[in-house]
A and B are shown apart, each in its own frame.
Chain A
């Protein structure tokens, strides 16, 4: 079974690379040699049930209508495509357009996925949702969807993150969720995922694990991408309407990779559109303190999928580091691993310093405070724009679309600390120490 699925994917890849086929709508379980189900047998039945429910739902007009209705009248979609002319002056003078996922309800692209999965949970008759969260964005989005649909919600969060993100813990609790601090392992996002998986094994009968990114075991990568495809579909249509042509490049940040795969998907088969994924370079990829999984990682299996992974020579997972909690994950979704190997998407690291410079620039040139995650995409766009300008006599005719995946309200304390805007005696300065965030 595994072999023939691998062969099918290899044939599809070959067909795309020789120009006869599409890379869109890859259904898994394999993306090239990545993906699959590296999971305990106890959970396979639940994954099978989820796969079947998802397949039925996506082919059911009433499900699609339900999603479309929530996207429009709850999340506020379509999100805008905003041209950022003053910011673009710093990107070699090319034209830059921002896909405004920051304007969605709850402030990021995360809402697209949680609404979809919460509806699937209801279809499966599951009454309890568990989720992992790093900084709290996915936890808040999950708590939101559960409040809306009347589902119980339990969010696993590293104990250290709970302390640093006390206000996000309060947000989740205000929305009716229970937040469980995870004190095992390195007490970070990956350990929150481990703990959620342990809960799932024990409670799978009534519980759906609402994974927050396009990673994990099949069908999660393909399913999470499906719910985020709306980003790329809208962006493609909007840029055609507003600029009259497709962009030269699309830029997105990559942690697990859900916002990126969502916007890339709309442009995967537009061969002249260059796609760039920007990973968290932390202090710099030569320092060992980063989360540049594709740039420096090696293939391995973690949390259910084969993909690139930050690991030591023994296969033990290495802790990642980034100023952006949302990118601070030592793995990456398997479809990105495949797209990297195939050459369709270029992945590059952006350091904390580069991201924060782009963060400040967008604040001051456009009046938009981006999430620090999204600031990695902005910093990447500056580099791509400058490269384009160096190769072009008419940079103003070149177009870049950047996925502004979230708003930066959650990051104000980190940014204030970074830019030394805080009175050293203030409470915020105390909390903001060590790159912590309010």
Chain B
């Protein structure tokens, strides 16, 4: 994996958690939901309650990797007038109030529309750590590889249970910060158990040379975190936090994150 210490904010955050004997906790929330200011407040609540890294999603008209909870939240953000440039305000708002690194999760077309270089420049200016790109594979990422190098941004690509060894190797090689291991063949949404495939994907990514692998999709409870902490460097929670925000605002988000963090200790650091 392409990460020299000091240049990757996400890697630094994960390494810090590791040095404290924990798996890194990564919390996802959509920008602009229910409003730009409330999404900043909710992000700050994540940071103050144990999140090592924050993932902020850009609401998009065609979110093919998202389940109903995140679809509903992002649609509402769009109806409330969210504009893509608002994501920079959210990133800046969280990073200026906390020491927690913020990655942006985005489907690719909004970045294409703004221009890959301009988007990258503005993200870096806002203090963002980099991008998680659910519908961009390294094969199509030439422009993003250049821009992320130019602005010192992390590029988190996804690997899946279906990834061939060859693709796994190429994706690990292209990633910086960490590799996002999809725990299950499916879309975002809380599940009662974490898929058995998760560990196999993480093992395969490690075998392909990944130093930092984080598991996402279906993770919603502290016992999931505890389970994944045994084999991965990080855990990503999304849908459960979005539901908490819907039901109880930033305070509920902070409470859930605090509860999740009780599961992050690694027995074998």
A-side interface residues toward B, CB under 8 Å? 1-3, 36-46, 48, 184-186, 190-191, 194, 197-198, 201-205, 298-303, 309, 311, 313-317
Contacts and interface: CB of A to CB of B under 8 A. Distances in A.
14 contacts: A36-B139, A38-B135, A40-B64, A41-B137, A42-B162, A42-B182, A44-B137, A45-B160, A184-B71, A198-B64, A201-B64, A202-B187, A315-B113, A316-B110
A315 B109 contact: yes
Contacts of B111: 315
B162 A45 contact: yes
A79 B64 CA distance: 38
Contacts of A40: 64-65, 134-135, 158, 160
A187 to B, nearest CB: 12
Interface residues of B, number: 41
B62 A2 contact: no
B259 to A, nearest CB: 28
Interface stretch (B11-19, B122-130, B163-171, B261-269): B163-171
B112 interface: yes
B182 A38 contact: no
Top 8 A-B residue pairs of the complex, sorted by shortest distance between their CB atoms = A315-B113, A315-B110, A42-B160, A45-B162, A202-B186, A315-B109, A316-B61, A314-B84
Interface string B176-187: 000000100111
Nearest to A197: B64
A315 B58 CA distance: 11
B158 A205 contact: no
A314 B185 CA distance: 30
Given A37-B140, A316-B78, A45 B163 contact: yes
Contacts of A184: 68, 71
Interface in B96-142: 108-114, 134-137, 139-140, 142
B113 A313 contact: yes
A41 B110 contact: no
A309 B171 CA distance: 28
B75 interface: yes
B163 A185 contact: no
A311 B64 CA distance: 17
Interface in B206-229: none
B204 to A, nearest CB: 13
A41 B167 contact: yes
A257 to B, nearest CB: 19
B60 interface: yes
A1 B110 CA distance: 24
A190 B62 contact: yes
Interface of B: 60-65, 67-68, 71, 75, 78, 83-84, 108-114, 134-137, 139-140, 142, 157-164, 167, 171, 182, 185-187
Contacts of A204: 162, 185
A38 to B, nearest CB: 6
B60 A2 contact: no
Contact of A3 (B60, B62, B142): B142
A154 to B, nearest CB: 16
A41 B160 contact: yes
A285 to B, nearest CB: 20
Contacts of A38: 108, 135-137, 140
A317 B61 CA distance: 6
Given A2-B140, A38-B136, A204-B162, A300 B185 contact: no
A180 to B, nearest CB: 14
Contacts of A37: 137, 139-140
A184 B78 CA distance: 14
A2 B71 contact: no
A300 B142 contact: no
Nearest to A29: B139
A298 B78 CA distance: 21
A300 B137 contact: no
Given A45-B163, A315-B60, A315-B110, 6 more contacts: A2-B140, A45-B164, A185-B61, A301-B135, A303-B62, A315-B111
Contacts of A300: 109, 112-113
Contacts of A186: 61
Contacts of A301: 108-109, 112, 135
A317 B112 CA distance: 13
Nearest to B166: A48
A41 B186 contact: no
Contact of A41 (B109, B112, B171): B171
A1 B64 contact: no
B137 A185 contact: no
Contacts of A46: 162
A201 B139 contact: no
A205 to B, nearest CB: 7
A89 to B, nearest CB: 45
A383 B135 CA distance: 41
B168 to A, nearest CB: 9
B64 A205 contact: no
B113 A194 contact: no
Nearest to A314: B84
Contact of A315 (B63, B84, B171, B185): B84
